[in-house]
Amino acid sequence: MAEKTNNDADSKLIGLLGQFDDPESLVAACNEAREAGYKKMDAYSPFPVHGIDPAIGIKRTILPLIVLGAALSAVFVGLGLQLYTNSSAFDALTPFPGYPFKISGKPIFSIPANIPVTFEIIVLTSAITTFLGMWILNRLPMFANPLHRISRFKRVTNDKFFLCLEAKDEKFNRSASEDQLNKWGAVAVEEVRQDLTDTDLPKWIPTAAILGAILLLLPPAAIFSQWGQTNRHPRLHVVPDMDWQHKFKTQTMSPNVANGRDEVDLLYADLRSARRPVDGAIAFGSLDIDSELNYGVKQDFAHTISFRSNVRASLSDDSKKDEAKGTEAGDEAPAAEATENMEQWVTTFPQGVEVTEDLLTRGQQRFNIYCAACHGYSGQGNGLVNQKAMALAANGDATWTSARSLHDADVKGDAKNPVGRIYDTITNGRGNMGPYKAQIPVEDRWAIVAYVRALQETGLKSPGADDAAAEETKDEKSEEVSEDENSEEEKSEEDSAEEETKEEDKAADDASEEDKTEQEKKDDA
């Protein structure tokens, strides 16, 4: 409703509003007003009246330029987003690394595939800019407009047209302007006044705002109060997300199926929750009938191996017991040798294992991973674990059987330790050494065997070994060369392998380890 106050102290004159009944007379009046020199005025209509822009001197808006700017920057944002998120090129610069999808060898960034998303980002950015830009340039939303207090003005959204001459205009004069509006064909003229008495914010708004803000802060405050706290209760699981499933996990006890009763009624009597394979079942891909390849045992002795058993393949139950005793005594070699059939071991690499430079390199790599921890990089039995354990054992803090030096005379040469036996040692362990068949695949075991033979050929000595032993090793070696064609190959392979290692310049490679050991030996002497 219009404020019917005429008290000048309570309200301020904003302008004069003239009403017109059709768009043509509005445009005509606007033209008259412009010609009369009015600059600050605005026309109001229920729909856009064409021809009114020049009539009241509206300049073309810069909105399209703003949108163009937004669209152009969206090109870079769109492409940049994809470039960053789908490649690892910017990982150093951003807190969240990119994620390159390697799919069918397709390029990580390709313009055609990245165009659709770029296009959508351009359209989205431009549309939002258009929308927000239009309202901001129009200074909307503005709810406290004095025009809305004039009841006559309510028809501006229906069928009436208005021209408002603003009081700020230099030409504005209360009575003269009213006369002019009437002259230009206004059906009615009314004052627009701003109410100065009612400018305060309603009291409930700040209260409600503060209350609302406090209520909104409660949940985050509750969450942050738990920050860095420890809690013995399991965390709140809002979405179960397949975390608890009706299944028995491996290595767990047979579940108690006696629901709600006190007595234990196991699902399986053997206490396991999982079933063992039927006797004689062979897992897919593990049919190891080639005894030479899989056990290092000659075909003729294959029947002595108990296939698919977890016990050492090469020894009978009795001899195993013997060896176990020997191990405990810290002197395994004589006991084992007493019952071990040396004839059974293959002395050459089995079919399917070709000793090449690649195999030796592989063997060296695997040796350094699995064996060097105890046996040392040069195989002299002085790996870090061994050194540490020996130091502890010397203080009486641990019991430890020293790792074998691979350069000992009794583990060198085809007579004492043929390749098959070395393979068996890796596979099933020997003495205190555990089996490695679970960790190392067959091919890699043979690669290690090749590398061990290569190490033994270097002529290194075991720490503390006397010259005689070294001499003996040399003899054996020369024998070996004449006997075995493979050895020659091995030797040359080994040289090149060593060179390669040196090139790699690793701190922990066998060459430097050897040097170090040599140095230590000299120091000892």
238-297: contacts with other proteins (CB under 8 A): 238-239, 241
- CA 21, distance to chain mean position in Å, is 69
Asked if residues 163 and 17 have their Cβ atoms less than 8 Å apart, the reply is yes
Instruction: Answer whether 86's CB lies under 8 Å from 98's CB.
Output: yes
Minimum distance of other proteins from residue 64's CB (angstroms): 6
15 binds other proteins (CB under 8 A): no
- Which of 156-164, 195-203, 398-406, 449-457 is the region at the interface with other proteins (rule: CB under 8 A)? 156-164
Whole-angstrom distance, CA of residue 487 vs CA of residue 458: 12
Q: Which stretch binds other proteins (CB under 8 A): 78-86, 287-295, 440-448, 488-496?
A: 78-86
Which residues ranging from 94 to 113 are in contact with other proteins (CB under 8 A)?
95-99, 101, 103, 106, 110, 113
Torsion sign across C-alpha atoms 313, 318, 319, 320: positive
Count of residues in the chain: 525
Name the residue nearer to other proteins (CB basis): 31 or 348.
31
Tell me if 142 sits within 8 A of 91, measured CB to CB. no
The stretch near other proteins (CB under 8 A) out of 149-157, 288-296, 360-368, 490-498 is 149-157
β-pair partners for 217 = none
Q: Is 157 in the site for other proteins (CB under 8 A)?
A: yes
State how far the Cα of 457 lies from the Cα of 388, in Å rounded to an integer: 27
CB 18, CB 162: distance < 8 Å? yes
CB of 281 to other proteins, least distance (A): 27
Instruction: State how far the Cα of 405 lies from the Cα of 385, in Å rounded to an integer.
Output: 14
Structure tokens at 192: 């627009």
Whole-angstrom distance, CA of residue 364 vs CA of residue 359:
9
Of the candidate spans 150-158, 339-347, 361-369, 505-513, the one that interacts with other proteins by CB under 8 A turns out to be 150-158
By C-beta, is 49 or 335 nearer to other proteins?
A: 49
Structure tokens at 78: 């769109």
Does 201 help bind other proteins (rule: CB under 8 A)? no
| Amino acid present at 68 | L
Rounded-to-integer distance, Cα 377 and Cα 382, Å: 8
Stretch that binds other proteins, among 151-159, 181-189, 193-201, 505-513 (CB under 8 A): 151-159
Min separation Cβ 164 and other proteins, Å: 8
- Asked whether position 353 contacts other proteins by CB under 8 A, the answer is no
**Choice between 159 and 475, CB closer to other proteins:** 159
Asked whether position 155 contacts other proteins by CB under 8 A, the answer is yes
Nearest approach, Cβ of 149 to other proteins (angstroms)? 12
Q: Which positions from 115 through 144 interact with other proteins, judged by CB under 8 A? A: 116-117, 119-121, 123-124, 126-128, 130-131, 133-135, 137-138, 140-144
* Size of the residue set binding other proteins (CB under 8 A): 71
Compute the distance between CA of residue 8 and CA of residue 455 in angstroms, rounded to an integer. 109
Q: Report the residue number, 128 or 271, with the smaller CB distance to other proteins.
A: 128
Nearest CB to other proteins, comparing residues 137 and 369 = 137
Q: How many CB atoms lie within 10 A of CB 510?
A: 27
Rule CB under 8 A: which of 30-69 touch other proteins? Answer: 30, 42-49, 52-53, 56, 58, 60-61, 63-64, 67
Choose between 106 and 275: whose C-beta lies nearer to other proteins: 106
Q: CA–CA distance from 390 to each of 45, 72, 134, 395, 397 (Å)?
A: 99, 71, 82, 9, 10
